[in-house]
């Protein structure tokens, strides 16, 4: 199968490298061309344009946000204009439910395939092929690309035949993580003001009921009050809450925790937190309690 | 060491049984005497009164709430009046920070020892000696009872020399669990209204990022909409949020998630949920979204 | 001065009629032409297109939402394309801060004037010239149209030289009203469940500390549980909360009450309230408390 | 009628003075005896004890909180022990629904009358006889004291035959005011960050839709960022939110706005606001938005 891969940021680079290392025929494209070099060394071919990356059977996209995906997909010479009939666009970016639906309809009109396959995991998991993949779209199309998904992820969850439902699931996952961060932030502020060492507290939590990496990693950042360098920057977390709320408004689902999270990100940004990791919202409860932070 | 054990409910019965099985010299007391029988068969001696259970070196209490503990501790013939100097009261109940502080001061005035050792775990963990114990109080006293704690729990976390700080930690742990329940409830309502099967969704979550029993158990109850029989009844969860908020008010710590949880329990109770498991608050997001529940 | 008036809904019709009755030279345009008839009888001239309504010195717009205003303003033959240099667009609709800023820039590029003059008041106030007008834009332009504003409103408040700031103020006013509605709804649910008649309660409030029409009108609807016919429909209230939150996100201002209101409108809509007056969110507290409503 | 009056703070002094000025036979008592002097000059008689103030047909209490009322009522030599059968206790303090219920039962057991008559208004209104009175209790008893109530207030609202319902109404009124303060604080933070002068903004609001003293007074304090001296101190406002939430928990009524207010008071107190007027919570939205305050 001939594969195109568009978007070689921290996540995309690792995923594309996995495909190259597995001996696949991969053509890569990135707006900043220098980021293609490491992939070329692994045998990938360079594309000079989005259209060139769309010449094969399947094209992956892994981009930062709606604007980037929309541009690459809908611009003249973009994916929708360039992909051959029956070829498949595998969209891995965390984008809005609305844009994913637009992509599904646009590709459908061109007899092209469209799968939404957002991922859970950080850059190191991407590089190691350990991502979790949430898939939405037609089962027959998914079956065709499954061997490729098995290279980039440790497991694929086909959750809906509607592609955009996979994007909703991805957003909901980030909502669960942000809720976890906020709840840890509140709990730590409370016990710390009550005289308990927050590091010892976190150690207790994560060696008993909450013994998984997400509690350890985010809890550790909150306990250490160290939010740089950002693994996932606050503006991205804020964006995902915004997209979640937009989907919830469309579906008419009240989400009280999401409302709290929204305001946390606004407070963080108002005070200059745009370069911090999104877990920095976990320090705001301590600030509200006038603890030195 | 001569041990008294007061309170043989679901949790206390399992803990006391562990002590008996380990060959300890245990005298048990329970208001409803019939609940003592299984322990007597394991070699425990019956006490006819609270005072009789206080004749030894250490007395455990494992009771339902502040009222029960306060009654057993402060009534004439109660623990404070009966315990010998230097004997230790090990208070395992989930009680308010305020009452725990009162107990600390009362025992201190009598030269008695007081340790707050609330537990994490359900009745089956209690019976299996798999509880996690959070300990507050003087290290020397804790050292004396540590061999007993090692019989009832798999690990003890000494988090503060102030006994009541351990109660605060326990309440914060239940707050983390209730937040987890609420966040799952919101996420499931959203994806379900977006067309995703909630069981498949939960399976995805709990086999990837959230692979621990608390997500599986509570998530499973929410997905199944089955909240009976109650493992931990809604009124108890509500009580713990109330005690958490009382402590937060005393310490001046704003806790926005706790405010949401408080209202969830009120809504659940207003609609007749007093016999349901506390995870039933996880179904209220679906109700707010007009999903059939 | 030659005046165009676009948008003859409940509000616009009353405002245009005031201008006609005052002897002004008014050309009216409405997509549904039949709504122009009553104005023609008052001496207005009919316009066959938006462009025709833009032939004079000033054009008012009073339309339902961003989409309607955007269409009328930016389409070929729209206001921006049709207005002569130095003529003034007086935008009275409740629209987003963002769209108002776009209009300001577009008119500026064409050397046209742009004033945002959103209004407070209901159709009867519009018909009686009793509206309150919030004005944003250049003082010199405002001075030129002030005689016209004095015909449609009882007072004009020039609050900023940035036109879009007036739209922000309008949205904030609706936020204050929605907060008032929600607070009344919560208070009434509480006292009613405590045994107090809600009509007598409202009468007490509105004859003592809260003796103004907004408390009486909205409180009366909540007490009567009568939300039809809608004076201001729930979807419009919801839209304004959305626009408020969008502006707050842009300006980085956390607004906890707005978050609650957002969810109230979602709950109302999820349960089929799209035809109700926006004050119907004031009945949701009673519903949460399981009061018969 | 022989009247006792207990509690000569800012409110009570004005109310007692009104009764004296009207020629009533008033015996006053205050823990700090010096505060009785101005009343004696108006013809009041001094009581050396609570019991002495209870020798007549009716005794008013106007005290700071539950603790003060409970002490004066239930202590040996207190009101319940001292009042003659059929005499009436008119309780004007803002106290908990629970305590008011206890008082009702205690007085009932002694065949004494009990009316809860909390008041709306500030010290100047008390001195001028302009208070609004909310009355709960038996109509026949209320009728007996109505001539006295007409001296201290401009209008009495008999809202329930259950005395404690009047206390609930009083708490709900303070909740409405606190909600008004918070909503104004949020709105002002938003428009100020959007470039609008907050004084001009407030002037617009209070000369149009919100033309009543409570918006003007609280809005003025928020706009001026001047919260001292406190007309009604933050800890008292916080206490009333606490009592409101306690009543709402008892009645099972979720109140989302009250949850926000609770956290606002905690944040204010955590940062040292105990001497500020309660309207200082109206400045916290600006702080969250990183506006200079």
What is the tens place of the pLDDT at every residue in D114-131? 999 999 999 999 999 999
pLDDT grade, residue C155 (50/70/90)? very high
pLDDT grade, residue A292 (50/70/90)? confident
Question: With b meaning 16 or more CB within 10 Å and e meaning fewer, what string describes A89-122?
Answer: bbbbbbbbbebbbbbbebbeebebbbbbbbbbbb
Model pLDDT for residues D61-81, shown as the tens digit of each residue: 999 999 999 999 999 999 999
Between chains, do A252 and C270 touch, taking CB under 8 Å as contact? yes
What are the chain B neighbours of D269 within 8 Å (beta carbons)?
252
Q: How close, in Å, is residue B91 to chain A by CA atoms?
A: 19
Boundaries of every domain in chain B: 2-161, 168-288
pLDDT grade, residue A249 (50/70/90)? very high
What is the mean predicted confidence (pLDDT) over D260-269? 98
Interface test with A, best of C259, C260, C281 (most A CBs within 10 A): C259
What are the chain A neighbours of D290 within 8 Å (beta carbons)?
270-272
Q: Are A21 and A44 in contact (CB under 8 A)?
A: no
DSSP chain D: -EEEEE--SHHHHHHHHHHHHTT-EEEEE-SSGGGGHHHHTTTPEE-SSHHHHTSSSEEEE--SSHHHHHHHHHSTTSHHHHSPTT-EEEE-S---HHHHHHHHHHHHHTT-EEEE--EES-HHHHHTT-EEEEEES-HHHHHHHHHHHHHHEEEEEEEESSHHHHHHHHHHHHHHHHHHHHHHHHHHHHHHHTT--HHHHHHHHHTTTT-SHHHHHHHHHHHHT---S-SSBHHHHHHHHHHHHHHHHHHT---HHHHHHHHHHHHHHHTT-TTSBGGGGGGHHHHHTT---
Model pLDDT for residues C47-80, shown as the tens digit of each residue: 999 999 999 999 999 999 999 999 999 999 999 9
Q: Are D167 and D97 in contact (CB under 8 A)?
A: yes
Q: Which pLDDT score is estimated for D292?
A: 78
Q: How close, in Å, is residue D270 to chain A by CA atoms?
A: 6
Model pLDDT for residues D229-240, shown as the tens digit of each residue: 999 999 999 999
What are the chain B neighbours of A203 within 8 Å (beta carbons)?
157
Q: Which pLDDT score is estimated for D34?
A: 95
Model pLDDT for residues A76-87, shown as the tens digit of each residue: 999 999 999 999
Between chains, do C259 and A260 touch, taking CB under 8 Å as contact? yes
A contact chains, 3+ CB pairs < 8 A? B, C, D
Q: In this structure, what are the phi and psi dihedrals at residue C223, rounded to the nearest 5 degrees?
A: -60, -40
Model pLDDT for residues C23-34, shown as the tens digit of each residue: 999 999 999 999
What is the mean predicted confidence (pLDDT) over D26-44? 97
B287 touches chain D (CB under 8 A): no
D269: CB partners within 8 A, 6+ apart: B252, D234, D235, D238
Question: Rounded CA gap, B38 and A62, in Å?
Answer: 62
Left (φ > 0), alpha (ψ -120 to 50) or beta: where does A196 sit? beta
Q: How close, in Å, is residue C232 to chain A by CA atoms?
A: 20
CATH 3.40.50.720 fits C2-161, yes or no: yes
**Strand bridging mode B119-120 / C88-91:** unpaired
**Is the pLDDT confidence value at A21 over 70?**
yes
Question: What value does the CA radius of gyration of chain A take, rounded to a whole number of Å?
Answer: 20
A202: CB partners within 8 A, 6+ apart: A184, A188, A216, A219, A220, A222, A223
What is the mean predicted confidence (pLDDT) over C274-284? 98
Model pLDDT for residues D91-117, shown as the tens digit of each residue: 999 999 999 999 999 999 999 999 999
- Measure CA of the first residue to CA of the last residue in chain B; give whole Å: 53
With a pLDDT cut of 70, the percent of chain D lying above it is 100
As assigned by CATH, the class of the C168-288 domain is mainly alpha
Report the alpha-carbon angle D96-D100-D104, nearest 5: 170
Q: Which pLDDT score is estimated for B16?
A: 98
Interface of B with A in 121-140 (CB under 8 A): 132, 134
Q: Are D141 and D70 in contact (CB under 8 A)?
A: no
Between chains, do C255 and A263 touch, taking CB under 8 Å as contact? yes
Query: In which residue ranges of chain B is pLDDT below 50?
Result: none
A274 touches chain D (CB under 8 A): no
Between chains, do C165 and D196 touch, taking CB under 8 Å as contact? yes
Q: Which pLDDT score is estimated for B100?
A: 98
What are the chain D neighbours of C119 within 8 Å (beta carbons)?
none
What are the chain B neighbours of C290 within 8 Å (beta carbons)?
270-272
* Residue C157 DSSP one-character state: E
The 10 Å Cβ neighbour count of residue A49 is 11
**Is the pLDDT confidence value at C217 over 90?**
yes
With a pLDDT cut of 90, the percent of chain A lying above it is 99
Model pLDDT for residues A173-202, shown as the tens digit of each residue: 999 999 999 999 999 999 999 999 999 999
Assessment of whether the complete model's pTM goes beyond 0.95: yes
Question: With b meaning 16 or more CB within 10 Å and e meaning fewer, what string describes D113-124?
Answer: bbbbbbbbbbbe
What are the chain A neighbours of B214 within 8 Å (beta carbons)?
209-210
Enzyme catalytic residues of C: 170
What is the mean predicted confidence (pLDDT) over A24-34? 97
Model pLDDT for residues D140-177, shown as the tens digit of each residue: 999 999 999 999 999 999 999 999 999 999 999 999 99
Among B46, B61, B123, smallest CA distance to B92 is for B61
Between chains, do A270 and D288 touch, taking CB under 8 Å as contact? yes
B263 touches chain D (CB under 8 A): yes
What is the mean predicted confidence (pLDDT) over C214-242? 97
Between chains, do A266 and C248 touch, taking CB under 8 Å as contact? yes
Question: Rounded CA gap, D57 and D46, in Å?
Answer: 16
Model pLDDT for residues D12-30, shown as the tens digit of each residue: 999 999 999 999 999 999 9
Q: Which helix (H) or strand (E) holds A8?
A: none
**Is the pLDDT confidence value at C293 over 90?**
no
Residue B189 is nearest to which of A195, A253, A285, comparing CB atoms?
A253
A53: CB partners within 8 A, 6+ apart: A4, A5, A6, A27, A28, A29, A47, A59
Question: Rounded CA gap, B168 and C220, in Å?
Answer: 45
Determine which one of A170, A193, A239, A287 is catalytic: A170
- Lookup result for tokens 């996690």: B132
Share in percent of chain B as helix, strand, coil (round to 5): 55, 15, 30
With a pLDDT cut of 70, the percent of chain A lying above it is 100
D15 touches chain C (CB under 8 A): no
Return the residue of C nearest to D201 by Cα. C159
Question: Rounded CA gap, A228 and A236, in Å?
Answer: 15
Q: In this structure, what are the phi and psi dihedrals at residue B27, rounded to the nearest 5 degrees?
A: -110, 125
Question: Rounded CA gap, B81 and C291, in Å?
Answer: 48
Q: Are A102 and A123 in contact (CB under 8 A)?
A: no
Between chains, do B252 and D263 touch, taking CB under 8 Å as contact? no
Collapse the DSSP code of C7 into the 3-class scheme (helix H, G, I; strand E, B; otherwise coil) and give the result: coil
Return the residue of D nearest to A284 by Cα. D288
């Amino acid at each position: 199968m001939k594969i195109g891969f568009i978007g070689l940021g921290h996540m995309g680079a690792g995923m594309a490298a996995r495909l190259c290392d597995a001996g696949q025929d991969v053509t890569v494209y990135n707006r900043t061309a220098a980021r293609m070099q490491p992939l070329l060394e692994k045998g990938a071919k360079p594309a000079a344009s989005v259209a060139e990356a769309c010449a094969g059977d399947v094209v992956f996209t892994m981009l930062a946000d709606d604007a980037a995906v929309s541009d690459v997909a809908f611009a003249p010479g973009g994916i929708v204009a360039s992909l051959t009939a029956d070829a498949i666009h595998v969209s891995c970016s965390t984008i809005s439910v609305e844009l994913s639906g637009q992509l599904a309809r646009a590709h459908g009109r061109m007899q092209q395939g469209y799968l939404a396959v957002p991922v859970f995991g950080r850059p190191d998991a991407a590089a190691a092929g350990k991502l979790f993949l949430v898939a939405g779209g037609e089962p027959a199309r998914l079956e065709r690309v499954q061997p490729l998904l098995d290279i980039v992820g440790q497991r694929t969850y086909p959750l809906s035949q509607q592609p955009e439902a996979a994007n909703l699931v991805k957003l909901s996952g980030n909502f669960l993580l942000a809720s976890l961060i906020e709840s840890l932030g509140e709990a730590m502020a409370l016990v710390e003001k009550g005289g308990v060492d927050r590091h010892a507290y976190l150690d207790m939590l994560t060696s008993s009921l909450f013994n998984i990496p997400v509690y350890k990693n985010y809890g550790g950042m909150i306990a250490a009050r160290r939010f740089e360098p950002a693994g996932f920057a606050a503006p991205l977390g804020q964006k995902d809450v915004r997209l979640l709320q937009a989907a919830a408004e469309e579906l008419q689902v009240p989400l009280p925790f999401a409302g709290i999270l929204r305001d946390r990100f606004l407070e963080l940004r108002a005070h200059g937190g745009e370069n911090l990791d999104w877990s920095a919202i976990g320090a705001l409860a301590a600030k509200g309690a006038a603890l030195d932070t």
